[in-house]
Amino acid sequence: MEMIILICFLGFLSLLGGFVYILLLNPRPQLMDRMVKRAMLKRHLEIDDGMHVFLAGTGAPLPDLHRAGPCTCVIVNHKIYMVDTGESSTRNMQIAGLKLGKIDTVLLTHFHSDHIGGLGETMLMRWATGNNSSPLQVLGPLGSKKVVEGFLSAYQFDKQYRIAHHGESLMIPEAYGAETIEFDLGADPMASALIYDKDDLKITAFNVNHAPVFPAVGYRFEYKGRSVVISGDTCLCDNLIQQANGVDLLVSEALNKKFAESIRRNANLSSAPTLSSIASDIQNYHLSPEDAALVASKAQVKNLTLTHILPPIPNKLMINAFLGRSKKIYTGKIDLGRDGLLISLPINSTEIKKKYLLG
Ligand SMILES: [Zn+2]
Ligand SMILES: [Zn+2]
């Protein structure tokens, strides 16, 4: 009797397996359409008036499976202002439902490769998917024009392919590329300048200290009473504290020196000959989580979100070790940023809402 039940059960399993196999290999058109429709609908992100911060990439140069290269988007008036263009950040934006055609401006903090690696893709995909009539605007410190020209040169063939394939009515030639506006803050460590003032949005660029990298800047965004500062890459510096004074949200980079030191000690086990020196050198020109907490505390910011997570955190059990003593230094809310986090600052409110848009 048991044998008959077993044979029936195995027969049922193989029938079910065969059905699933056929369905996966040859999905019916209706099923395929339903899945595509669901994906298309998911790709419409509706957000209210206010200032919104989307973490498109919270990684840094060391490879991290779960983090794209550094990119923080500020969304105001349905326009996207991208601070840096780390690799794969536009992919995260698209998956989250942000339309690349809505990118108004790219703001560069400095020219380390992790911060500019996705610039070519950002320019091309905004053009190819956005139906805009004018090129992207890029704002950045001296040197930005050269960086943009290099990416445009690398992407010139793809531009031609797409025009030839889809036609000029869809791939509008005049809208391709970028108009770059450079600003020069000089070498004064406390320098800052208003670089954007339009439709109630003000953006201030300010010098930070990422020596020997120069220029290097952070950005302060203000919109209808709400404010956000994005640190860029820097060590602890007074200008960051001054610019972050009283803001609703500080998005700060974070490098855990103990983790970096562990990489330096064990670098001989890797096949990368330069890793030991790099792990040592990077420790003195980045903010640690404790440094970021100190800035947040001194500047009395309302919320602190860490990004540019360096080195990668091996697993969730190590999050507290990564944050170190930061929660003792700053008593406000600290979030360890992750790709896909949307932080919303509604107008006429002091509220800060958070929502995860990936996955
Ligand atoms: Zn960096
Ligand atoms: Zn850097």
Structure tokens at 4: 């008959």
Assigned domain for 317 exists: yes
Structure tokens at 50: 């206010």
- The CA 359 to ligand 1 mean position distance, Å, reads 25
Provide the residue type at 106 as one letter. V
DSSP structure class, residue 213 = B
- The CA 107 to ligand 2 mean position distance, Å, reads 14
User: Three-state DSSP class for 165?
Assistant: helix
- The CA 245 to ligand 1 mean position distance, Å, reads 23
Nearest ligand for residue 112 CA: 2
**What would the mean pLDDT of 21-42 be, rounded to a whole number?**
73
**pTM, two decimal places:** 0.89
**What would the mean pLDDT of 193-200 be, rounded to a whole number?**
97
Nearest ligand for residue 285 CA: 2
Assigned domain for 184 exists: yes
Nearest ligand for residue 57 CA: 1
pLDDT confidence band for 295 (50 / 70 / 90): very high
Tell me the CATH number at 281: 3.60.15.10
Assigned domain for 10 exists: no
Q: Decide if pLDDT at 284 tops 90.
A: no
- The CA 287 to ligand 2 mean position distance, Å, reads 11
- The CA 49 to ligand 2 mean position distance, Å, reads 32
Cβ-count burial 306-318 (b if 16+ within 10 Å, e if not): bbbbbbbbeeeee
Q: What pLDDT, on the 0 to 100 scale, is given for residue 355?
A: 95
- The CA 334 to ligand 1 mean position distance, Å, reads 20
Which residue would you say has higher pLDDT here, 285 or 110?
110
What's the pLDDT tens digit per position in 75-113?
999 999 999 999 999 999 999 999 999 999 999 999 999
**What would the mean pLDDT of 12-29 be, rounded to a whole number?**
67
Assigned domain for 42 exists: no
- The CA 34 to ligand 2 mean position distance, Å, reads 44
Assigned domain for 25 exists: no
Nearest ligand for residue 110 CA: 2
Which range has the worst mean pLDDT, 5-14, 115-124, 189-198?
5-14
Q: What pLDDT, on the 0 to 100 scale, is given for residue 44?
A: 65
Assigned domain for 139 exists: yes
Assigned domain for 20 exists: no
Q: Decide if pLDDT at 232 tops 80.
A: yes
What residues have CB less than 8 Å from 323, skipping those under 6 apart?
Answer: 289, 306, 334, 336
- The CA 270 to ligand 2 mean position distance, Å, reads 23
- The CA 233 to ligand 1 mean position distance, Å, reads 6
Q: In the chain, how many domains are there?
A: 1
- The CA 229 to ligand 1 mean position distance, Å, reads 16
Q: What residues make up the domain containing 62?
A: 52-356
Q: Decide if pLDDT at 27 tops 80.
A: no
Separation in Å, CA 26 to CA 29, 39, 40, 263 = 9, 19, 21, 47
- The CA 241 to ligand 2 mean position distance, Å, reads 19
Residue 126 contacts residue 81 (beta carbons within 8 Å): no
Assigned domain for 93 exists: yes
- The CA 136 to ligand 1 mean position distance, Å, reads 23
Which range has the worst mean pLDDT, 141-145, 218-222, 316-320, 339-343?
316-320
Alpha-carbon span 70 to 28, nearest angstrom = 40
Alpha-carbon span 48 to 237, nearest angstrom = 35
What average pLDDT does the structure give for the chain?
92
